[in-house]
Structure 1
């Protein structure tokens, strides 16, 4: 038991500086977004309650979070105006989620058991959005979600988080305005390719 406690303490010390900066971003930007979008989320919840009944407004699913702790992910049962994502902002402020991180996986999801994945998934909060969510639309062969999550785990920080959030907003605006999505990603196409790939592949 003492060994487990020592390892947990060492892990917390090693991750503290970077994690604290990202947590400040989650709290400041997450709170601002929560306040700004709360009326739209409330109206969406009311519309769903009228149309489907109060019991069909929220979807609740178990997800694995920081340190392997299981929490309940709550989302509005609609994707209109991305209200399902915006409805998760209280969980960002509370600390179950981060604004940016790997996709929240269900307990027992085999992706969490891949070699090396178990450790970094326990070291990071799952995200409201993430590198995998903004890059998989690019169609590039190296943009595999598991590879993108791994890349994020190795390079995450406030600067990368802000770049991902900017790209997520651009994608959302393209969807809302009906503009065709570009098949070329705006983030660097070279920083997480599979070995052996080149621009002409």
Structure 2
């Protein structure tokens, strides 16, 4: 079902993706797509694909906040930057619903309970995304990921997909306060917050 919906979604959004790609090319230059290794089911690493929302770093633009453009903010707030991720779903690397794929360096920072989020394929959207997105702290987000793993079902997936529409339309929880996205996950010993997606040839 994931593959079928992703295939239909890619065809249906092809004209929109073409417009977004041209806008990204005009504003951000090349590359248009952000590609980054992310851990999937059982921690197996795959390449996540999204539209790029940040300028490439230079001497004047170091932080995510400096590099995130008005176009990038719009793409993130509307989740249009996520459309290419349907390719990851079509390839079987992701599901439509599941814990969001985070950074590879987080793998050894999870507690054994938090690491259970990798018992299923990561999703384009998930329980944490409809319960607060980046407005939640890390403990809350990871607990919701594990809750999804324990209670996953077709009915829950359909409910999350429906609630995702409302979250996107209302543009809730796009970023944590004071961050372009969210502070870096440091595990049990939280250090000075750093932007989680500071390396961008990405989205």
- Mapped to 2, the partners of 1:47 and 1:60 lie a distance apart of 18
Q: Give the equivalent residue in structure 2 for 1:30.
A: 6
Structure 2 residue ranges without an equivalent (≥5): 53-71, 173-203
Matches within 5 A, 1:46-195: 46-55=22-31, 57-77=32-52, 78=72, 79-80=74-75, 81-109=78-106, 113-118=110-115, 120-136=116-132, 144-175=140-171
Contact 1:62–1:73 under 8 Å retained in 2:
yes
4+ residue segments displaced more than 6 Å: 138-141
User: Which structure is higher in RCO with an 8 Å CA cutoff and minimum separation 6?
Assistant: 2
TM-score, normalised to structure 1's length?
0.66
- Mapped to 2, the partners of 1:70 and 1:36 lie a distance apart of 28
Contact 2:88–2:94 under 8 Å retained in 1:
yes
Residues 152 and 111 (structure 1 numbering): CA distance in 2 closer, same or farther, change over 3 Å?
farther
Which structure has the larger Rg over C-alpha atoms? Answer: 1
- Mapped to 1, the partners of 2:50 and 2:135 lie a distance apart of 28
> How many equivalent residue pairs?
149
**Larger fraction in helix:** 1
Cα offsets for 1:104-151 (capped at 9, x unmatched): 021130576312333x3332111101000110269899x911111111
- Mapped to 2, the partners of 1:137 and 1:70 lie a distance apart of 23
Structure 1 residue ranges without an equivalent (≥5): 1-23, 177-201
RMSD between superposed Cα atoms in Å:
2.5
